[in-house]
Amino acid sequence: MSGLPAPTPWGWHPLSDQWAARIVADAQVRPGDLVLDVGAGEGALTTHLVAAGARVIAVELHPGRVGRLRERFAAAPVTVVRADAGSLRLPRRPFRVVASPPYAISSRLLRTLLGAHSRLFAADLVLQRAVVRRFAEGRAPGAGRWLRQWELRPGLALPRRAFRPPPQVDSSVLVVRRRR
């Protein structure tokens, strides 16, 4: 035995409750906001979004976690959707995103969210810190065309211990706001 932690299923690193609460507070979610939680996992962010008064669409691909989310939030204003970010249908009305999506889908998710017909008005996404930096500095593929319409900046830096088990990379929140 090597003493290394066992690999996480699907490479999953759930957020701790304390950090999930802080991310939702920093996002300044308002009662009645429609919020997508992409990569909802077991509902760490969803729990605090509901407490803030949001109506949540919790998107998760893993079938076991989808079932647990449906049970846990059956009486809450939460719609659980089993979907991959690549096939995600965005709401037709204004919405925001507060999520900790799988890092492997970061660029694809941002392309979807920031597309021409998206009704997104704000997003707070927990991503790999290097990716956050590239997007905020306009160095990521496609970022140039987004910067005219969107402000992308680094937000809260999360320590590795904010996740259980800790990932091998540093993470930050990418704050996305529509320019007026």
Ordered per-residue pLDDT tens for the chain, 180 residues = 334 344 444 567 899 999 999 999 999 999 999 999 999 999 999 999 999 999 999 999 999 999 999 999 999 999 999 998 767 899 999 999 999 999 989 989 998 999 889 999 999 999 999 999 999 998 888 777 888 899 999 999 999 999 999 999 999 999 999 998
Which residues are within 8 A (CB) of 87 and not within 5 positions of it... i.e. 6 or more apart?
none
Beta strands in 22-170 (DSSP E): 34-38, 55-60, 78-82, 95-99, 120-128, 150-158
Kindly list the domain boundaries of the chain, sorted by start residue: 13-178
Q: Is 13 annotated as a binding residue?
A: yes
CATH superfamily membership of 13-178? Vaccinia Virus protein VP39 (3.40.50.150)
Q: Is 60 annotated as a binding residue?
A: yes
Q: Is 87 annotated as a binding residue?
A: no
- pTM of the predicted protein model: 0.92
Q: What is the pLDDT of residue 7?
A: 42
Q: What is the pLDDT of residue 10?
A: 54
Q: Is 67 annotated as a binding residue?
A: no
Q: What is the pLDDT of residue 113?
A: 94
